[in-house]
Structure 1
Amino acid sequence: MTPNNPSPILQHLVEITGHRDHTRLEYSVISALRHLVGMRQVRKLEFFLVKDVTYVRPCLLLVDGEMVAPDAVPVPDSACPPLASHTELMQGLEQRSSSIQYTYADGSYRLWLPVRLDDRVVSCLEISNDSAYSAQTLDVINGIVEVYRNYQSLLDYSERDALTGLFNRKTFDEQFSRHTRDATSTTRPEDDVESHWLAVVDIDHFKQVNDRFGHVYGDEVLILVANLLKSSFRSQDRIFRFGGEEFVVLLRQATLEQARLIFNRFRTNIEQFAFPQVGRVTVSVGFTIVGYGAPVEIMGHADQALYHAKENGRNQVCYYEELMKGGQLQAADVAHDDVELF
């Protein structure tokens, strides 16, 4: 269907630019395209790197013309195909095309619309249809998607820390409440089941780095730690710069044993990294399970575990529930004037 009246387009543009959340923004764009041009299936393809190989994580947004809820459980990295298996898409990305079309031998049609951040392709909308679109319809699709790209860039800019490129504290506050809502469960923390985990990471003796080497090298340490955070965790996890030398990690879908291994692997990566001029840097990590109590309490538990790590030698990973069980910590009420998140 090709629109003749501009009013529906304007109405959809108003709706698209009224959101402050990436997921809602995506769904408003898909809803607009479905009503304006029609399509059979839409997927969002997220790209991520593992050891210099680009992989694709698909998320179904629309099937048979009907909107579907996003996947409650993210597709694990191990189940994602490499980008090289999508030959036509990869060729179009290499040519830096803003839209890529391909009609298969059976007549089915694909349209890929890449989304870039800082000149790097981070995701792509994949539209499937029974036949190719007309030039006029493609103009409508490209116009809507260009508005989506620009607005998503604005949202992303407001959500990122300017120095490290990680998500900022404001974004953490918004996403953490959603994660705690999704993770609420009656399963006990000691059960060997996949859960969500919250970790607070603090660079040991960071003030001494600034005092001895200056803030330029201090900033470089923060940037390099942020890069090591990105490479040490999975693409489905979320990493934030919480402020100063403190970072927060939301680790998704892992058992306690896996979480402990992942956090310790990151700690070791930092310890073994040669920081220019500064030399050796270490981090302390405190973590807890997500889904047992209010967000401010969960954050307080991770903070208590972090402080225990720093007060007992630093350069270690401490698990709140384990410290409580061993009597090394005591339950404490976390007041809103002690930790202010929301």
Structure 2
Amino acid sequence: MKPILQNLVEMTGHRDHLRLEVSVLSTLQKLSSIVEVRALELFTHAGVPHVRPRTWVDNGNLVSTDSEAAADPRREPLDQYPALRECVAAHGDSALSSPRRGRHVLWLPVWMQDKVSTCLEITQSRPFSAHKLDVLKGVFQVYQNYQSLLDYSERDALTGLFNRKTFDEQFSRHASALASSNTAAISESFAPEDGPLPSEPVQQWLAVVDIDHFKQVNDRFGHLYGDEVLILIANILRSSFRSHDRIFRFGGEEFVVLLRSTTLSTAHRVFNRFRMAVQEYNFPQVGAVTVSLGFVSTAQGSPVEILGQADQALYYAKEHGRNQVCFYDDLVSSGHLAAKVANDDVELF
């Protein structure tokens, strides 16, 4: 029991979902008879539920991936895991299966906000005893509760989107990986009708979104209706982008989107599709609302510089008519914005 308690102390010392996931699998791996542990990611691709390993054991070490799930060649249809599929459909807390002699599998779905996107998979060489199941579920419950606490601390209380603190942590940590990743496949929902041009590289994009004349909404209708507008905009953002894109509320009426693994022409189309969805939505009491958006590639520059360039494009959009999408590089090449670089120093404003 003492080693388990020590591992639980270590596990709850982490402040990152992926590290916490690795830690709980490390704890479970040390229990007797366990032959394999994995964390599976559940997602939908082309309308079909899939599963793929996100953390697993490789040569005795636990390794993880944060790559796009839909492009992972190891993904499998959830139908190949019938016990897990039935458990998720029934909102169950566990599933057992014995696919062959000497292989007994336990799945523990991680339920958060009535949804499941992660599942722990534990395989051992003999059937699970009642006592073993109690121990495993006890460790898992601590892990799930702590995941919920982390998730709560990472999100904006009003909209449920990731908050500014989470953006600062995630973008600083992954900026270089996002910039160099250009091989991920494009989701079907974002694929251009005729397919992307072969010469167009797949990149990552950062967009800053601002609600036009939001102060007038608060002044005219009150903050309760202003909050409702923010919540509805957040819902439109969720429905406009893919599960592996990231959406943040920066505070006030400003949001940030990290659009992953797509081309410039597709980025233009997707951002404008979101803008039109807002324009065409009938907000209760308030009526019509529009947004302005500025975006930039994350391929070059520090996180602060990239965010500053997206802000410049946003402010240009707001100062030149609002309700439009502006790409930073286009504004610079057309002479509407000047790149503020001198003597290798970057001036941000």
Normalised by the length of structure 2, the TM-score is 0.85
> Cα offset for 1:332?
2.6
2:186 maps to none
* Structure 2 unaligned blocks of 5 or more: 183-198
Which aligned pairs between 1:109-258 and structure 2 lie closer than 5 A? 109-185=104-180, 192-258=200-266
Mapped partners of 2:115, 2:66: distance in 1: 27
SS class of match (1:36): coil
Residue 54 of structure 2 is aligned to residue 46 of structure 1: no
8 Å CA contact retained: 1:185, 1:292: no
SS class of match (1:111): strand
Mapped partners of 1:325, 1:69: distance in 2: 43
Change (3 A) 1:84 1:224: farther
> Cα offset for 1:193?
1.7
Mapped partners of 2:168, 2:248: distance in 1: 10
> Cα offset for 1:275?
1.1
* Structure 1 unaligned blocks of 5 or more: 1-5
Mapped partners of 1:78, 1:181: distance in 2: 20
8 Å CA contact retained: 1:102, 1:110: yes
SS class of match (1:104): strand
Mapped partners of 2:25, 2:170: distance in 1: 22
Which aligned pairs between 1:266-281 and structure 2 lie closer than 5 A? 266-281=274-289
Change (3 A) 1:78 1:31: closer
Normalised by the length of structure 1, the TM-score is 0.87
8 Å CA contact retained: 1:160, 1:166: yes
2:12 maps to 17
8 Å CA contact retained: 1:305, 1:318: yes
Q: 2:304 aligns with which of 282, 293, 296?
A: 296
SS class of match (1:97): coil
8 Å CA contact retained: 2:172, 2:303: yes
> Cα offset for 1:71?
2.7
Mapped partners of 1:186, 1:63: distance in 2: 24
> Cα offset for 1:244?
0.3
State the number of aligned residues: 329
8 Å CA contact retained: 2:43, 2:69: no
8 Å CA contact retained: 2:154, 2:166: yes
Query: In the TM superposition, what whole-angstrom CA distance separates every residue of 1:173-197 from its partner, at most 9, and x where no partner exists?
Result: 100101212134499xxx7222211
Q: 1:282 aligns with which of 287, 290, 295?
A: 290
Mapped partners of 1:312, 1:228: distance in 2: 24
2:273 maps to 265
Mapped partners of 2:114, 2:38: distance in 1: 24
SS class of match (2:106): strand
8 Å CA contact retained: 1:77, 1:235: no
> Cα offset for 1:135?
2.4
2:192 maps to none
Mapped partners of 2:113, 2:147: distance in 1: 12
| C-alpha RMSD of matched pairs (Å) | 2.8
Q: 2:322 aligns with which of 314, 317, 327?
A: 314
Mapped partners of 2:49, 2:204: distance in 1: 23
Residue 60 of structure 2 is aligned to residue 66 of structure 1: yes
> Cα offset for 1:77?
7.3
Query: In the TM superposition, what whole-angstrom CA distance separates every residue of 1:136-183 from its partner, at most 9, and x where no partner exists?
Result: 222221111111001111111111100000001110110010121213
Identity over aligned pairs, percent: 53
Code of the residue aligned with 2:337 in structure 1: it is L
Mapped partners of 1:169, 1:141: distance in 2: 35
> Cα offset for 1:263?
1.0
1:32 maps to 27
> Cα offset for 1:333?
6.0
1:55 maps to 49
Change (3 A) 1:132 1:193: farther
> Cα offset for 1:73?
2.8
> Cα offset for 1:69?
3.0
8 Å CA contact retained: 1:34, 1:65: no
Mapped partners of 1:28, 1:157: distance in 2: 20
8 Å CA contact retained: 1:60, 1:68: no
> Cα offset for 1:131?
4.3
8 Å CA contact retained: 1:200, 1:247: yes
8 Å CA contact retained: 2:84, 2:95: yes
8 Å CA contact retained: 1:57, 1:77: no
Change (3 A) 1:228 1:85: farther
2:97 maps to 102
